[in-house]
Amino acid sequence: MSTEKKFASQADLADKKISFDKLSEHAYAYTAEGDPNTGIVVGDNAVMVIDTQATPVMAQDVIRRIREVTDKPIRYVVLSHYHAVRVLGASAYGADHVISSRDTYELIRERGEQDMKSEIERFPRLFRAVESVPGLTWPTIVFDRRMTLMLGKLRVEIMQLGRGHTKGDTVVWLPDDRILFSGDLVEFDATPYTGDAYLADWPATLDAIAALKPEKLVPGRGAALTSPARVKAGLDGTRAFVTEMYGAVREGARAGKDLRTVYRETYERLKPRFGHWVIFDHCLPFDVTRAYDEATRYPDPRIWTAQRDKEMWQALEG
C-alpha cells in the first residue's frame, strides 16, 4: 500500500461515460460508471427524480435526457438520503416538492452543513460548477416510514426499509413494474461508502429489498441491474462487502488492536476480492473508521467535518 495516497479522491479527475437506460414505460436510469446515479420515474401527469446529482449545473444534463423522452413536468424530487453528492443539484429541477424521510430531514438539520463542506473537499470532480449550489437542499414533504404517491394511475411507494448506508435510507418502488431505486443501500462494481452507516443493520435491510422481488434495480452507483439475476448479484456483492468489512474490523477491535492496525489488516484482507471496485481506496479509510466506531463505543455515526476527514486520513494513510 502506498503511503502517499492523495487525500480521498482529490486525484480522481477523469470524467465518466454517462448512460441513460429505459427500464420500463415508467422508469429510466441515469448512470455513470460508478459515479452517483439518478433515477427517473415518468407517471401519467408528472416526472419524479430520485437523487439529483451534486450541483444544479450537473443536473442540467439529467434534465436534457429527461426532455428527450417526455415533456411532462418534473414535479417531485426524492432524496434517497442526505449526502451532498446526491442532493445539492435539486434546485435545477424546479420541482413542486422535495421528499425525504424524517430521519434524512433530521440528518440535514444536524449535519448537512458539515457534510457539504467535507464531501466537496473529498471529491472535487463530483461537484462540477460547485458555485451553482445555492445552499442545502431542504425537503418540503417529510414522511415517516412509508408514503404512497399516485402519479395518475402509476403507484409509487417511497419507503424506509431499515438502516444501512445511513439511518434515513429511502427506496422508491414501482410495484406494478417491479422496479426498485435503492440509493446507496446497493452498489454494483462500486465500493459501498459506509462512513455514516449502521453496519450491523445493513444486511437485514438488504433482505427487505430482496423480499420485494425486484426484477430490475437502479443502485446508488454502477450500472442499472436489468434482470433478477443481476439484481441478486448487486445485493450479494453489497452484502459480502458490508459483512466482511465489518466482521474483520469487529474482530480486530475485540482483540484490542488499534484503528491503524485494524485498517491495514482489513485493507489487505478485502483488497483481493473488492479492490477492483471503483473508489475502493477512497472509501476504505472512512469505512473502517466507522466500523471501528460501531464495534466499540459509537452506536451512531459521528459527524464528519473537513478537519476530521484530514486528521483521519493522516492517521491511517500518512
* Residues 184, 192: Cα–Cα separation, whole Å: 7
- In the window 36-95, what residues touch Zn ion (CB under 5 A)? 83
Q: Find the shortest distance in angstroms from Cβ 170 to Zn ion.
A: 12
User: Is the Cβ of residue 184 or residue 309 nearer to Zn ion in the bound state?
Assistant: 184
Site string for Zn ion, 128-167 (x = CB under 5 A): ----------------------------------------
Q: Find the shortest distance in angstroms from Cβ 166 to Zn ion.
A: 7
How many beta carbons lie within 10 A of that of residue 298, not counting itself? 11
Q: Find the shortest distance in angstroms from Cβ 45 to Zn ion.
A: 30
User: Is the Cβ of residue 83 or residue 167 nearer to Zn ion in the bound state?
Assistant: 83
Is residue 287 within the footprint of Zn ion (CB under 5 A)? Answer: no
Is residue 290 within the footprint of Zn ion (CB under 5 A)? Answer: no
User: Is the Cβ of residue 46 or residue 84 nearer to Zn ion in the bound state?
Assistant: 84
Q: Find the shortest distance in angstroms from Cβ 158 to Zn ion.
A: 17
Q: Find the shortest distance in angstroms from Cβ 53 to Zn ion.
A: 13
User: Is the Cβ of residue 201 or residue 265 nearer to Zn ion in the bound state?
Assistant: 201
User: Is the Cβ of residue 43 or residue 89 nearer to Zn ion in the bound state?
Assistant: 89
Q: Find the shortest distance in angstroms from Cβ 224 to Zn ion.
A: 18
Q: Which of 103, 177, 184, 293 binds Zn ion (CB under 5 A)?
A: 184
User: Is the Cβ of residue 56 or residue 220 nearer to Zn ion in the bound state?
Assistant: 220
Residue 160 near residue 201 (C-beta atoms within 8 A): no
Q: Find the shortest distance in angstroms from Cβ 259 to Zn ion.
A: 22
Q: Find the shortest distance in angstroms from Cβ 184 to Zn ion.
A: 4
Stretch that binds Zn ion, among 63-71, 134-142, 183-191, 223-231 (CB under 5 A): 183-191
Residue number with the smallest Cβ distance to Zn ion: 83
User: Is the Cβ of residue 42 or residue 84 nearer to Zn ion in the bound state?
Assistant: 84
User: Is the Cβ of residue 54 or residue 223 nearer to Zn ion in the bound state?
Assistant: 54
H, E, C per residue of the chain: CCCCCCCCCCCCCCCCCCEEEECCCCEEEEEECCEEEEEEEECCCCEEEECCCCCHHHHHHHHHHHHHHCCCCEEEEECCCCCHHHHCCHHHHCCCEEEEEHHHHHHHHHHHHHHHHHHHHHCHHHHCCHHHCCCCCCCCEEECCEEEEEECCEEEEEECCCCCCCCCCCEEEECCCCEEEEEEEEECCECCCCCCCCCCCHHHHHHHHHHCCCCEEEEEECCCECCHHHHHHHHHHHHHHHHHHHHHHHHHHHCCCCHHHHHHHHHHHHHHHHCCCECHHHHHHHHHHHHHHHHCCCCCCCCCCHHHHHHHHHHHHC
Cell triple for 55: 450541483
Is residue 103 within the footprint of Zn ion (CB under 5 A)? Answer: no
* Residues 189, 63: Cα–Cα separation, whole Å: 26
Q: Which residues bind Zn ion (CB under 5 A)?
A: 83, 184
